[in-house]
Each structure stands twice: as C-alpha cells, then as structure tokens.
Structure 1
C-alpha cells in the first residue's frame, strides 16, 4: 500500500530505488528470504519520527485537554519499523561511501513497484510505502492525521538521502522489538539488478558471482558505471 497525502508525494511505481549493503547483510537477506526493518528510534537522526516546531506547538495545545497525548506519540516510535531505500536513476558514489566499507559491498537496484510485489501478502505485518519529504523543522508543518506521517518527514540536512521507506506499525502485535524485525519477501521479485562495489578487487567480484551461482540465483549483475575506463 502506498502512503499518499496532499503534503506527501506517493512514489511512482517505476521509480528506481537502491539499497547499499555489505556482503554479510546481503547473504542474510538471500538465505532467510527476509528483509530487515529497523526500529525507528534506533536511527542516528534523533529527530526521527518527531514533529516540527509548528506541529509540536499545535500538539501541545491538544494535550492540554488530553493527558498523555504527547507521551503516546513518543512511545509510538519504538513500535514503528522502517526499511530505507535511495531514489536515484543512477548509482550513487556518496551512497557507496556511506553504506559500504573497505571497497566491498553491493547495491541492489529495484523499483517501487518491485518492492510492492516483493512484500509477501501473507506476512504477519502490514507494510506501507512512502516517499520522505525534507522540510525546515523550524517553519514547516507536519500533518498528524496519519500515524505514519512523522516518519515520512526529515530535516533538509538529510536531502541527499532521497529516501523511500517501507514502514510497518507493530503496536497491535504487542511485540518486544530490539533493533528491528525481519519480514518475508520474494527476493527474485525485489531485485532487478545487482551492482558490485566499483573499487572492489577481482577476487571479491568473482566471489559474489560464485556465491550467486551456488545459491541458485541468477540476478543480473551489472558493471558499475563508476569503474568505467576513461576515454582519453
């Protein structure tokens, strides 16, 4: 299900998205056929799932007549889990730098529609997909008529992330979440192509290809544009 609102852009189904990760996390995804979704209050950004100043002032007025109203929103964060994807028509040098180490790692190329198809309907948890909007938290308003909206806005400092999120609300499951949860996915539906780190050595590239063959996956493996030879 796509999350849409007059203040939030619903991502187009053919939007190209990427996830950059190390080999161990990628193999865990393949072997378990599950996608890890992180607990929202575990992200590095302390503002994650919070409200902008204009919205907070509005909520404070409401809470004057509803004791516990603000506390409920604060507690809500630990029950929201998120899988983050990067919107880009092309691979991103910055994302390689941020999410991989030692010139090793992989990038999954997918689309919003593929993510939707990959989320197994029989999964215990209901998932929603929305595009993050980047705003000025001192001036702009965040709507609060949907529990997911605080998690679809971030400060302008994070604009480089260009993020699409898969989000689940686990409050009704009374589940004790540590760092996050894993949800069932159709791996073949999710992955359109696989890119190996552009600065990785040949042995690493060969290892990835060999692992895919041994595990029975035939993903399209693309050469990174960032390792193309110069023409002069």
Structure 2
C-alpha cells in the first residue's frame, strides 16, 4: 500500500533563508540586478522534476491511451527554472563547505517575504515559492495535477538541504534555455544581510566590502558565528 503525501508546504513569510555562492555569481547578481535560476534538468540530482514509483505507475497507465503524455513531461523539465535557498535560523557550516571553495564566498540572508517582495516587479514569468518535501520515492506519491509539484519533492537523501525554491515555468515563452534564465529582482529588498566566508583572509573581506561600495550597495555585513573568539 502506497503512502500519499500531505499538501505542498507553503513556507511562513518570516522563514529565514540563505543562498551560499561565490564572489563571481554574487557580483553578477549585483551588476545585472537579476537572480539566476537554473534549468531543472541541469541539477546534479538526476531525479529533479521526475516522479516517484507510485506516481509513475499511474502516469504509465495514462500513457497507454495517450503516448505523448510522458514525452511532454520529459521535455517540460527543460522549460522549468529554479532558484534554491536553504532554510535555517543560523548559518550552516555544511552549506559553506558544499557551495563555496578555497575559503572564499558569501552567504546572502533573506526571508521568504523579502524574496516575494523583491520579485514583485518581475512580470515576465509566473513564479511559485514552495518548500521542498523529502520523501521515499519507492513508496510515496507525488501529485501531478499541478506543473510545479514534481519540482517540490526530492529523495530523503537530500534532507540536509532544507530547501525552499523559487520556480518558474517558461514553456509558454518559447525560449531557448541553455543553463538557466535570469529574472529581475530588487536587490536591496532581496538581501537583508551578507556573511563573508568565515575562513577568508582579511584582503578578501576588504575586497568584497570595497566592491559593494563601488557598486552603490550598503548591505549590512555580519561577522560569521563560525569565526567567533573562543571564550576560554
């Protein structure tokens, strides 16, 4: 007997979210005043946007009378773009390790509400924000009556990501999407605080601060809890 998942989780507006990225991606965001969203089938996890076994069995029955049904779902992944954010009240040592290299990089701290407000002027693409649900792909069912649902589920092996996603379906725009797409954002609304890699050297921290000042941004820069002095 298969277990059906509960309703899709809509994150609380005050939920704190993080994006860990290298300096080049951060500067690209500031210069373009746009947020990059990756094409869903370019993620490392090959299961992105696919279905669990119980759901696939139902789709296969539908496809017997409509052979194009499965092909449409496969091609659909090429037109869906995603921006991934990490839910956490505090910064994450693990996320620093995974998403930054050579003790360099930054973390953007925001909230779900700030993300929504920052993208409000973006009228080109329909966007959906949802919290990823981690399930057993052998037992649990993924609903497919909404085009966004398959992209809001992942295997339990990825629970450490604690992910909130901004998802856009660009199918109707007839675009050729290579690695992804950029969407306009209000940078000052999106970014609440900046954390510079806790193990970075002073010259790197000073470089980041200088670059932001030259570009006309005055974000609050917090000292990482991971570089606090030892109280002993």
> C-alpha offsets along residues 103-122 of structure 1, whole Å, 9 cap, x if unaligned?
00000000000000000434
Unaligned runs of 5+ in 1: none
* Alignment length (residue pairs): 228
- Equivalent residues of 2:39, 2:177 under 8 A apart: yes
SS in 1 for 2:146: coil
Q: Which residue of 2 aligns with 1:136?
A: 136
**Cα offset for 1:209?**
1.1
TM-score by length of 1: 0.96
> C-alpha offsets along residues 9-42 of structure 1, whole Å, 9 cap, x if unaligned?
1000000000000011000000100000000000
> C-alpha offsets along residues 115-145 of structure 1, whole Å, 9 cap, x if unaligned?
0000043431121101100000000000111
- Equivalent residues of 1:76, 1:171 under 8 A apart: yes
**Cα offset for 1:63?**
1.1
The question of 1:229 aligning with 2:229 is answered yes
Range with bigger deviation, 124-133 or 37-46: 124-133
Q: Which residue of 2 aligns with 1:216?
A: 216
- Equivalent residues of 1:38, 1:82 under 8 A apart: yes
The question of 1:67 aligning with 2:67 is answered yes
Q: Which residue of 2 aligns with 1:33?
A: 33
CA distance 1:152–1:216, shift in 2 (3 Å): same
Q: Which residue of 2 aligns with 1:184?
A: 184
Taking the aligned partners of 1:195 and 1:84, their CA distance within structure 2 comes to: 18
SS in 1 for 2:65: coil
Unaligned runs of 5+ in 2: none
The question of 1:114 aligning with 2:99 is answered no
TM-score by length of 2: 0.96
- Equivalent residues of 2:122, 2:185 under 8 A apart: no
**Cα offset for 1:64?**
1.1
Could you say what the CA RMSD is over the residues aligned between the two structures, in angstroms? 1.0
